A and B are shown apart, each in its own frame.
Chain A
Amino acid sequence: METAKKQRLLTGNKAMAEAIALEMEKNDDVFVLGEDVGKYGGIFGSTEGLLDKFGPERVMDTPISETAFIGAAIGAAAEGMRPIAELMFVDFYGVCMDQIYNHMAKIPYMSGGNVKMPMVLMTAVGGEYNDAAQHSQTLYATFAHLPGMKVVAPTTPHDLKGMMTSAIRDDDPVVFMFHKTLQGLGWMDQLDASVGHVPEEAYTVPLGKAKVAREGADVTIVGIQMMTVYALEAAERLAKEGINVEVIDLRSLVPLDKETILESVRKTHRLLVVDEDYLSYGMTAEISAVVAEEALYDLDAPIKRLAIPDVPIPYSRPLEQFVVPSADKIYEAVKEMLEE
């Protein structure tokens, strides 16, 4: 460990914006468009500082016309450009999903691979700041369910930068979900997890690879974004009681890194899947199914799932806290699993 060397710390949003800036410097085909991506720097800071560096021709504020500007990104990508379009909140997909899933996702396939779609659709996800049902969802599974898009959701500033770089360089459409709370914004909860070491130069973190965020032998917890953060918190507490939890930060929903999950389950023989998305038909179900299909006899206990219990995200603080999984709930769930 180079503990002596001072490490540069960045928030999630600055890490993302830096990745975009470095790619824009290198490649004239890369440009950003979306609502409030210019002077404002993105409502969640994803384009902070880019307008000053690159000007309004390459950092384009758009009208509130998601169909038009996401469709325009698709049209430009088909011409070989590398647009990055921002859908301000993932919850807004309802006004433009046709362009996303019928066109961005399907054109490469329907053309037999003759048309490439090298674009990034970045979008803010997640709740727990009382923004209610239309501004708090993650909708991970909604996008991951539909074939033709890579869907990634990095947790740490390091991965936000590295995976954004990979997403921009990728020739396939990538839905890049960033969690609002992990952006490290001054006007939201201040989390240690939203700040981290980020190298200055451009680097890539592969799309489609999960990360073992903490090693352990007793239980595997698979989470993504805030659920990984909570799982790590719960793991700390459990460690004090002699329970060693392995935490997997999924990072990518499509492609899904089955191998890392299966390898972990074969070691720990127990699986808890935690999701800040709806329970039914979601990521927790998918991962449970993969493990049931391929590692059922490695399990010592039934698989457990924690997720939003199939209701819209409620507004009031006690109501929202009730439905979103937390470190406490994860701690309890692990204890139950080991007692069974």
Chain B
Amino acid sequence: MGIPIEKLLWMYEMMVKIRHYEETMEEVYMEGKTPAFNIGAGTVPGEMHLSNGQEPAAVGICAHLTKEDTVASPHRPHHHAIAKGVDLNRMTAEMFGKETGLGKGKGGHMHLFDPNVKFACSGIVGAGIPQAVGAALAAKKRGTDAVAVAFIGEGAANSGAFHESLNLAALWNLPVIVVVEDNQYGISVPKDAATAVESNHLRAPAYGIVGERVEDNDPMEMYKVSERAVERARNGEGPTIIEIETYRFLGHFQGDPELYRGEDEVPTLREKDPIGRLKEYILLEGLADEAELTERENRVKTLVDEAYQFARESEYPKPEAALEDLFSS
């Protein structure tokens, strides 16, 4: 199929790692929020947007990226951050509001910044796209072959930032890839009630660039489509829009009553769990055996557990540290 075994296994274990991270967060997030749900209470307060089910979008393209490539992620950033190699301990500590966090507790779950692996995210829909364009512009000016990837939800493709940024990226022929995660909903509003085209990759010709779509949340297809897009970008052939049909197993955020979804919708999606499907493929093709996969699963799960442990054991910042880090001079 053209995907190196090592890459396939990397994608598999990375998806397991992400899922274990998010499932752990589901539990941790509810600590201190029962019996009455209070968003500001508990170990991890504030909004929480989890990515269970959306792993293929992140791993399929991050498999082609290095530390030198930039990723701009939106409000649902964990799968991208983990796949990009963001420091897991400090990322988790950030969500716990601890001083060892990536932003010393000033950012939280929607504002994770790890300049060591060039990862950033924003809680504002569509806002990361122009910043990815800027990272790509910097790469071009400096003559490196780095690329920039902006992940967005399908809802963000209707923002002005999407149009302005893609026009600019195409005009300047920049190495930018916009990955549209079509999880079918902008919070509660279904895609077909918000978007005039069936798929956002169809908007690519409007900018004179390539657009591709990945169906059915398929990590291997995402890998292949991304491989082409990253190669084009590195070769100076400009931007790409990739839309992937993906599945949001949970609500928009934790605590979302999901009244806008039919009862059997999520169970049907879960039957198509991309992790199980990839595992099945690997075993069927004999690329690894059950024991090897289990070993890999255990290894990454331990890393996740250690990250949560690190976050728990870390100290809160001193309150007056709120006044620091506004300016560097």
Cα separation A50 to B160 with both chains bound (whole Å): 30
Q: B106-114, B242-250, B293-301: which lies at the A interface?
A: B106-114
Given the complex, which residues of B lie within 8 Å of A65, measured CB to CB?
A: 164-165, 167-168
CB A37 to nearest CB in B, in angstroms, measures 15
Cβ contact within 8 Å between A103 and B137: no
Cβ contact within 8 Å between A109 and B325: yes
Cα separation A57 to B329 with both chains bound (whole Å): 30
CB A30 to nearest CB in B, in angstroms, measures 11
A168 at the interface (CB under 8 A from B): no
Cα separation A147 to B132 with both chains bound (whole Å): 24
CB B95 to nearest CB in A, in angstroms, measures 13
A232 at the interface (CB under 8 A from B): no
Cβ contact within 8 Å between A68 and B106: no
Cβ contact within 8 Å between A111 and B328: no
A23 at the interface (CB under 8 A from B): no
A-B complex: 4 closest residue pairs judged by Cβ atoms: A75-B134, A71-B130, A112-B104, A68-B164
Size range of the chain A interface in the assembly: 35 or more
Q: A76-84, A129-137, A284-292, A313-321: which lies at the B interface?
A: A76-84
Size range of the chain B interface in the assembly: 35 or more
B183 at the interface (CB under 8 A from A): no
Given the complex, which residues of B lie within 8 Å of A75, measured CB to CB?
A: 70, 72, 130-138, 148
Given the complex, which residues of A lie within 8 Å of B118, measured CB to CB?
A: 79
B122 at the interface (CB under 8 A from A): yes
Given the complex, which residues of A lie within 8 Å of B129, measured CB to CB?
A: 71
Cα separation A80 to B118 with both chains bound (whole Å): 11
Cβ contact within 8 Å between A108 and B326: yes
Q: Is the interface of B mostly helix, strand, loop or mixed?
A: mixed
Cβ contact within 8 Å between B107 and A112: yes
Cβ contact within 8 Å between B101 and A112: yes
If the complex has contacts A103-B122, A112-B101, are A79 and B134 also in contact, measured as CB distance less than 8 A? yes
Q: A113-121, A187-195, A302-310, A323-331: which lies at the B interface?
A: A113-121
Cβ contact within 8 Å between B113 and A107: yes
If the complex has contacts A110-B111, A112-B102, A115-B113, are A74 and B326 also in contact, measured as CB distance less than 8 A? no
A86 at the interface (CB under 8 A from B): no
Given the complex, which residues of B lie within 8 Å of A67, measured CB to CB?
A: 130, 160-161, 164-165
Cβ contact within 8 Å between A63 and B148: no
Q: Mark A235-263, 1 if CB is under 8 A from B, else 0.
A: 00000000000000000000000000000
Contact of B138 among A69, A81, A116 (CB under 8 A): A81
Given the complex, which residues of A lie within 8 Å of B318, measured CB to CB?
A: none
Cβ contact within 8 Å between B328 and A172: yes
Contact of A113 among B72, B105, B139, B328 (CB under 8 A): B328
Given the complex, which residues of B lie within 8 Å of A69, measured CB to CB?
A: 130, 168
A148 at the interface (CB under 8 A from B): yes
Cβ contact within 8 Å between B328 and A63: no
Listed in ascending order, the chain B residues whose CB lies under 8 Å from chain A are: 70, 72, 101-107, 111, 113-115, 118, 120, 122, 124, 127, 129-139, 141, 148, 160-161, 164-165, 167-168, 171, 324-329
Listed in ascending order, the chain A residues whose CB lies under 8 Å from chain B are: 31, 57, 62-63, 65-81, 83, 95, 98-99, 102-103, 106-116, 147-148, 150, 170-172
Cβ contact within 8 Å between A79 and B135: yes
Cβ contact within 8 Å between A57 and B141: yes
Cα separation A44 to B164 with both chains bound (whole Å): 24
**B133 closest partner in A (C-beta):** A72
Cβ contact within 8 Å between B141 and A81: yes
Cα separation A224 to B141 with both chains bound (whole Å): 37
If the complex has contacts A63-B164, A67-B161, A68-B168, are A77 and B325 also in contact, measured as CB distance less than 8 A? no
27 contacts between A and B (CB under 8 A): A57-B141, A63-B171, A66-B164, A67-B160, A67-B165, A68-B133, A71-B134, A72-B134, A73-B134, A74-B130, A74-B134, A75-B72, A79-B135, A81-B138, A98-B161, A102-B122, A107-B120, A111-B325, A112-B101, A112-B106, A112-B107, A113-B104, A113-B325, A114-B114, A115-B120, A147-B326, A148-B326
Given the complex, which residues of B lie within 8 Å of A147, measured CB to CB?
A: 326
CB B137 to nearest CB in A, in angstroms, measures 5
Contact of A78 among B120, B165, B167 (CB under 8 A): B120
Given the complex, which residues of A lie within 8 Å of B171, measured CB to CB?
A: 63
Cβ contact within 8 Å between A71 and B161: yes
Cβ contact within 8 Å between B325 and A78: no
Given the complex, which residues of B lie within 8 Å of A63, measured CB to CB?
A: 164, 167-168, 171
**A68 closest partner in B (C-beta):** B164
Given the complex, which residues of A lie within 8 Å of B122, measured CB to CB?
A: 102-103
Given the complex, which residues of A lie within 8 Å of B324, measured CB to CB?
A: 113
Contact of B161 among A68, A81, A110, A170 (CB under 8 A): A68
Cα separation A147 to B325 with both chains bound (whole Å): 11
**A85 closest partner in B (C-beta):** B134
Cα separation A62 to B167 with both chains bound (whole Å): 10
Given the complex, which residues of B lie within 8 Å of A115, measured CB to CB?
A: 113, 115, 120
Cβ contact within 8 Å between B103 and A78: no
Cβ contact within 8 Å between A99 and B130: yes
Given the complex, which residues of A lie within 8 Å of B133, measured CB to CB?
A: 68, 71-72, 75
CB B9 to nearest CB in A, in angstroms, measures 32
CB B178 to nearest CB in A, in angstroms, measures 12
Cα separation A242 to B126 with both chains bound (whole Å): 61
Cα separation A147 to B324 with both chains bound (whole Å): 12
Cβ contact within 8 Å between B165 and A68: yes
